[in-house]
Amino acid sequence: MKCHLKAKLTVLIVILIFGFVFSASSSTKTQTTCEKMLKAYGSKIALPEEVGRFFNGERLNLIFKMNKGSDISVNGQVMKNAIGNIKCGSKGMSDYDVTLTEEAAKSLSKSDTPAKTFVSHMKKGEIKIKANGMMQAFKLKIAEMMMATQK
């Protein structure tokens, strides 16, 4: 009986260790993907100047929903005409969490009219913004009303 219990405990410990190693290696892989993305595209994302002025100083978590099933999370801060200081991983205390599909991100990066492209992807549900605070929600509502006038 003791031998049978010991065998079960050993199997359970092996499963737990395997799970820990697997999750650690997949997190390292995601981090590596994020670092490659930052190296390829830089640590800034261009924004229209009016958006930068309106949201200046706000902290963001950007979550890219990749086609292959994994997410890439980065965090940064809105500046005059860009999201700057971009680093891998999310920060707990962000003002906004922005989730976008890989297609939306690629489309925005190639667009000649990023504001219109952004609005189009939001309407399709490919870009979602969550405000983390009452003032942020108020600012977001104003921005959404302004975007509604974009054609």
pTM (whole model) above 0.75:
no
- Tell me the pLDDT tens digit for each residue of 88-114: 888 778 999 999 898 888 887 788 887
pLDDT at 150: 63
- Tell me the pLDDT tens digit for each residue of 20-48: 333 344 445 555 677 877 777 677 777 77
User: In this model, does residue 64 exceed pLDDT 60?
Assistant: yes
User: In this model, does residue 63 exceed pLDDT 80?
Assistant: yes
pLDDT at 28: 54
User: In this model, does residue 133 exceed pLDDT 80?
Assistant: yes
Q: With bands split at pLDDT 50, 70 and 90, how would you rate the model's confidence at 59?
A: very high
Give me the chain's average pLDDT, please. 76
Please list the alpha-helical segments (H only) found in the chain.
2-41, 49-54, 102-110, 114-123, 134-148
* Strand duo 45-46 + 82-88: pairing: antiparallel
Selection from 67-71, 120-124, 133-137 with the highest mean pLDDT: 133-137
pLDDT at 124: 92
